[in-house]
Structure 1
Amino acid sequence: MATRRDLTKAYAREYQRAGKKRKGEMLDELCTATGWSRVNARRQLRQAASRKGRAGQAPRKPRARKYSYDALKVLEEAWTLAGEPCGKYLVAVMDDTVERLQRFRELGKVADRISDEVLAEVRSMSPATIDRYLAPIKKARYPEAKSTTRPGLILRSSISLRTCMDGFPQQPGYLEIDTVAHCGHRNEGDYLVTINATDPYLGWGIARTVKNKAFVHMKAGMDYILAHYPVPLLGVDFDNGSEFLNWSLIGWCDDHGIPTITRSRPYEHNDNAHIEQRNGDWVRRHAFRYRYETQAEQDDLNLLWTQVEARKNHLLPCVKAVDWTETASGRKKRVYDKPTTPYARLVASGVLTGPKADRLAQINYDLNPAAVTRRINAIQTRLIASAKDRTLTSRQA
């Protein structure tokens, strides 16, 4: 920012005196150096020229809001009922989300503010504008957990290594899988564990909570993931945890005809970047960092994952890295596709046919974002009431 201010100050005085052609050239130079748009560069030059040498000048008046207060309240309600996604993802599904909320009559709290003009304002907002307007609301509404992964050394040399630079085949059917321990602030004793899986190509996710990392429970969780994954499973990628690198689980893969089994490098989280991100966005965000132990909590967590999967797989978009490019300074930069839902990617892939396609299409059509959010909130309330005191006690201990 300091460099940008220096450049703007250097250009400002000359810009005021320059002719039309030179002004255009200066704007091009400034945009290339700073990455600004021409409109913003022009504004910055005018402001720099007005500030220069004018001590005691009255502060400039802030620009008037572009969107009405009614539009902001409708945006807040739609964002809340959709699960509080970021602006980039909300814009991608804004039309679909608003249509669903109106169809299911879920905008009752802001019904007196809704009009065609207000809805047009909401639909026209950019991702940056949404994030800017919702920032105070996020701030008004809202300790690192222990890792329980223990290295499995027995099969390390016999399982193929996959690094972050290798990538996945560009087709559905491959899962990154990891476990998340619900141990609170200590990892002694028995606590529940969630097996979390994601397809890097589709963005499709499945989670299942089991009693612990014993094979009998891990097998039950993997059976559930296999049964609820919408396409044939062609390969799995694990970390180096002993719950995965053992003969029993490798035998389970062989029994189900899974031809590709890979693992990441030790202590290299970027090798499992997709599932590591989902561990935070899916599991920690929705189940928090409390300690869960009981059968009732396990049942509630599995009910929670069905609702989270409905929201994340069908209603909210995600992006996928598709290429690399370079910035003006020569640094490598990832290129992402347009945000879209995992279900839309699944349909576009063409691998979903027959009764399964019809069943998923009906599930997608019947989903009410507000009802999904209410069910998630109700389950979270039960989990908090059940586990909060136990978690706080374990933290003090």
Structure 2
Amino acid sequence: MSLASRREYLATMRERYWAARTRRECTEILNEVQQVCGYHRKYAIRVLRQATPPAPAKRRRKRALRYLDALPVIARVWEALDYPCAERLHPVLLPMAEHLAAHGEVVLTDAVREALQKISRATLARRLATMPSPKPRRRLPRPRPGLLQSQIPVATYDWDEARPGALEVDLVEHNGGSTAGQYAYTLSMVDIVTGWSRRRALLGRSQRAVHDAIGDLIAEWPYPVWGLHTDNGAEFVNHHLHRYAEAHNLTFTRSRPYRKNDNAHVEQRNRQLVREIVGYARYDRPEQVEQLNRLYARLDLYANLFLPTRKLKNKVRDGARVRKSYDAARPPLDRILERDVLSPEERARWLALRQSLNPLQLHRELDALIAGLQHPPETAMSAD
């Protein structure tokens, strides 16, 4: 008898042994095991008694839910940060609650403050699961997939790049599903090290318009920029941007064709801070581009000063699997401050600006601006 067969046989005999009701039945089972396996009687008894009888199903003790007094404050902080997951919310929960309390949005008692400090990430996730997010979930369709290519190298930033100023750049279409005529685009830029990001709406994607928008955003960047990484679109791979990169001593690289992961950081921001905000409607009028830029002016402040993000800090390949670990979620401004790339005056200015802003009020303003995009003023007037 093979070892596997013997184990299966003994498992069956153990069940019979524990189910036996009389001494006679136990004796008969022992005799059979001795005969089949050739065991000594005492050893056969030990083998059959290894398995314990099935324990009765335990009833879970119902414990009173903790941190109920802190739930209203948690809900307000969750709303102020645009309903992030527990992993992003937990590290900034107490600081943001104190920030909202300073603006009169919540009231923090000692008991609530202690609860916010003690609540674990797992418990926070369970509490958030009982508060459905009013933020709509959209299914994101797959996007549709010459010049100077020999002079602009194909490259990607290292995942553990440590020098702030490495920007990824991309365009997002707002054509409503039809490529006919001229329509708006959103130029999106993000630093892969700090997570600082900016957006600018354009009518069309001419090389000159894209070049000017990139130049304006880099000029407003809070610290020096050294790298520029784009896809292979003609709006980026052209003489205008190539000359600009050379004049400003920027390392200009491009992605591999049809490899969107080469621009993963900006693609992620395109989803979170463009598609989930303005959706897939068509914007093709100058006044709509102005509306988008008013929205982005507030959104950039909200995202960079308050929204916590997680950054990959380590990854190890284990065979076919890659194990990744992330740091604690923090707003991009905090990552900039810890890198010490701002002058003392700029540092004080940004900290004072964040202290003066109410993130919940910013969230309300963004909701109003988004509603204005979905329902243009002239549409509302014509309905009266």
The TM-score, its normalising length taken from structure 2, stands at: 0.77
The Cα shift of 1:182 comes to 1.2
* Distance in 1 (alpha carbons) for counterparts of 2:133 and 2:275: 19
Match of 2:232 in 1: 240
Which has more radius of gyration? 2
The Cα shift of 1:230 comes to 0.9
Moved over 4 A (4+): none
Residue of 132, 147, 160 corresponding to 1:154: 147
* Native 8 Å contact 1:233 1:258 kept in 2: no
Match of 1:33 in 2: none
1:121 correspondence with 2:119? no
Match of 1:280 in 2: 271
What aligned pairs does 1:304-323 form with structure 2 within 5 A after superposition?
304-323=295-314
Q: Deviations over 1:128-183 (max 9, x none)?
A: 3223222343366535457366xxx322232111147x447421111000111111
* Native 8 Å contact 2:89 2:329 kept in 1: no
Q: Counterpart of 1:192 in structure 2: which amino acid?
A: A
* SS of residue paired to 1:281: helix
1:259 correspondence with 2:250? yes
What aligned pairs does 1:324-343 form with structure 2 within 5 A after superposition?
324-325=315-316, 331-343=321-333
* Distance in 2 (alpha carbons) for counterparts of 1:140 and 1:343: 27
Q: Counterpart of 2:221 in structure 1: which amino acid?
A: Y
The Cα shift of 1:61 comes to 4.7
What aligned pairs does 1:163-174 form with structure 2 within 5 A after superposition?
163=156, 166-167=158-159, 169-174=161-166
What aligned pairs does 1:1-397 form with structure 2 within 5 A after superposition?
52=54, 60-61=59-60, 63-107=62-106, 115-138=109-132, 142=136, 144-145=140-141, 147=143, 153-163=146-156, 166-167=158-159, 169-255=161-247, 257-325=248-316, 331-386=321-376
Inter-CA distance 292–132: structure 2 relative to 1 (3 Å threshold): farther
Q: Counterpart of 1:213 in structure 2: which amino acid?
A: R
* Distance in 1 (alpha carbons) for counterparts of 2:194 and 2:65: 36
* Distance in 2 (alpha carbons) for counterparts of 1:252 and 1:302: 24
* Native 8 Å contact 1:177 1:198 kept in 2: yes
The TM-score, its normalising length taken from structure 1, stands at: 0.75
The Cα shift of 1:200 comes to 0.6
The Cα shift of 1:64 comes to 3.0
Tell me which protein shows more helix as a share of its residues: 1
Number of residue pairs matched?
A: 328
Q: Counterpart of 2:87 in structure 1: which amino acid?
A: K
The Cα shift of 1:68 comes to 4.3
Q: Deviations over 1:174-220 (max 9, x none)?
A: 10001111112222222111110110111111111111101232123
* Native 8 Å contact 1:182 1:290 kept in 2: yes
Q: Counterpart of 2:127 in structure 1: which amino acid?
A: Y
Inter-CA distance 358–53: structure 2 relative to 1 (3 Å threshold): closer
* SS of residue paired to 2:229: strand
Inter-CA distance 283–303: structure 2 relative to 1 (3 Å threshold): same
The Cα shift of 1:330 comes to 7.5
* SS of residue paired to 1:157: coil
* SS of residue paired to 2:375: helix
* Native 8 Å contact 2:226 2:251 kept in 1: yes
* SS of residue paired to 2:150: helix
* Native 8 Å contact 2:160 2:313 kept in 1: no
Q: Deviations over 1:88-141 (max 9, x none)?
A: 11111112210111110113xxx6xx6332332233222332232223433665
* Distance in 2 (alpha carbons) for counterparts of 1:350 and 1:262: 26
The Cα shift of 1:293 comes to 1.8
* Distance in 2 (alpha carbons) for counterparts of 1:177 and 1:126: 37
The Cα shift of 1:355 comes to 3.2
Q: Deviations over 1:46-84 (max 9, x none)?
A: xxx99x575xx6x84574353244322331222112221
* Distance in 1 (alpha carbons) for counterparts of 2:77 and 2:223: 32
* SS of residue paired to 1:282: helix
* Distance in 1 (alpha carbons) for counterparts of 2:134 and 2:80: 17
* SS of residue paired to 1:339: coil
Q: Counterpart of 1:290 in structure 2: which amino acid?
A: A
* Native 8 Å contact 2:198 2:217 kept in 1: yes
The Cα shift of 1:382 comes to 0.4
Inter-CA distance 332–305: structure 2 relative to 1 (3 Å threshold): same
* Distance in 1 (alpha carbons) for counterparts of 2:117 and 2:276: 27
Inter-CA distance 224–60: structure 2 relative to 1 (3 Å threshold): farther
* Native 8 Å contact 2:83 2:133 kept in 1: no
Residue identity over aligned pairs, in percent, reads 29
* Native 8 Å contact 2:203 2:289 kept in 1: yes
* SS of residue paired to 1:298: helix
* Native 8 Å contact 1:146 1:187 kept in 2: no
* Native 8 Å contact 1:179 1:196 kept in 2: yes
